[in-house]
């Protein structure tokens, strides 16, 4: 990494990455609904349209399928589009373009064509936006060969992963939790890349490993502080990338502590935690575990509008604390 470190919000870090990319590479364009004069649904794009013009910061019609299709086609012809969905939920309208086209073109054409498109996905609950605007869909797309799926948890990674995605020859989906946009943290100046597929150890511990991503990293870290008051030292591993998963980092952490708790906001069934659990169970580390693997994920229901119900259906800090205490008490 280069340059001095300042405090930026998560949203400002993303905007800085897009600004740098637009300034340095004429192939980069931004696309999405209301990203121009309005500045984006969450004001992430800001004033970039005034700086780079409407030919490079392009307001698209209200058609996710159409906009995503144009972005995929533009990428195939040599451009580097960054397409913003107003809400990640709306990507369901563009599954054909993402899953059947972008993810498969390199394979179907024998490597003759790449699809270097980046898709930004504002995701997650906590804003009172109810069932159709609050989902965590990273496991959907993580199931598809040909796609890369990342979940930055910090402003530093929000910038670095976006710049890395723009350098990647394949489609990269970036799930940005909406509650993180205003969170501030250190962000180096200048250009740097956060490697896709590499987890980050956020806290060392001896008693159990908590593997999380996105906003759950911060909840896991807060839970770890509470657990430490009881003498339970939890290690927190930030996946950063759902596809590819950092197998080595997960196995190393689980092997060190002997206990594994997987935490994610997406629905528990068939979620990211299930893949991590299977990965560990199929490895040599499984025989070093001192207790069964635990998963903590979203409830089996759509996200409610009511604020109390909304909090109840996704893991919160007390839930992580309770699960970790339960896991740490299980006999060796």
State the angle between helix axes of 10-24 and 155-167 in degrees (0 to 180), rounded to the nearest 10: 30
Cβ contact 121:67 at 8 Å: no
Contacts of 113 (CB under 8 A, 6+ apart): 76, 105, 106
Neighbours of 98 (CB within 10 A): 28
Cβ contact 116:70 at 8 Å: no
Are β-strands 234-238 and 118-123 bridged in parallel, bridged antiparallel, or unpaired? unpaired
Which residues are marked as active site? 64, 133
Q: Distance between CA atoms of 1 and 16, rounded to whole angstroms?
A: 15
Cross-sheet strand order for the sheet of 148-150 = 57-59, 28-32, 80-84, 118-123, 172-177, 148-150, 241-243
Cβ contact 154:5 at 8 Å: no
Q: Distance between CA atoms of 162 and 157, rounded to whole angstroms?
A: 8
- 253-269: b (≥16 Cβ within 10 Å) or e: bbbbbbbbbbbbbbbbe
Tokens of 36: 């121009």
């Amino acid at each position: 990494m280069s340059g001095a470190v300042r405090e930026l919000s998560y949203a400002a870090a993303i905007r800085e990455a897009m600004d740098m990319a637009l300034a340095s590479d004429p192939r980069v364009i931004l696309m999405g609904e209301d990203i121009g004069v309005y500045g984006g649904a969450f004001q992430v794009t800001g004033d970039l349209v005034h700086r780079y013009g409407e030919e490079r910061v392009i307001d698209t019609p209200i058609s996710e399928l159409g906009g995503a299709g144009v972005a995929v086609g533009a990428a195939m012809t040599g451009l580097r589009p960054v397409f913003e969905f107003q809400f990640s939920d709306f990507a369901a309208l563009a599954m054909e373009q993402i899953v059947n086209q972008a993810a498969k073109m390199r394979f179907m054409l024998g490597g003759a064509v790449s699809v270097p498109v980046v898709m930004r996905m504002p995701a997650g609950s906590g804003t009172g936006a109810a069932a159709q605007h609050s989902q965590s869909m990273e496991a959907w797309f993580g199931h598809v060969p040909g796609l890369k799926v990342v979940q930055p948890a910090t402003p530093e990674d929000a910038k670095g992963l976006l710049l890395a995605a723009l350098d990647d020859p394949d489609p990269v989906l970036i799930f940005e939790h909406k509650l993180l946009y205003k969170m501030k943290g250190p962000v180096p100046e200048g250009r740097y890349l956060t490697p896709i597929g590499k987890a980050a150890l956020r806290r060392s511990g001896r008693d159990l490993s908590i593997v999380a991503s996105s906003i759950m990293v911060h909840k896991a870290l807060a839970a770890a502080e509470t657990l430490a008051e009881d003498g339970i030292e939890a290690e927190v591993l930030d996946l950063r990338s759902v596809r590819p998963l950092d197998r080595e980092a997960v196995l190393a952490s689980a092997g060190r502590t002997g206990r594994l708790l997987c935490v994610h906001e997406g629905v528990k069934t068939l979620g990211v935690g299930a893949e991590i659990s299977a990965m560990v169970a199929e490895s040599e580390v499984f025989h070093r575990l001192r207790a069964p693997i635990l998963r903590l994920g979203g409830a089996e229901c759509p996200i409610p509008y009511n604020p109390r119900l909304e909090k109840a259906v996704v893991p919160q800090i007390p839930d992580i604390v309770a699960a970790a205490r339960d896991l740490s008490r299980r006999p060796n």
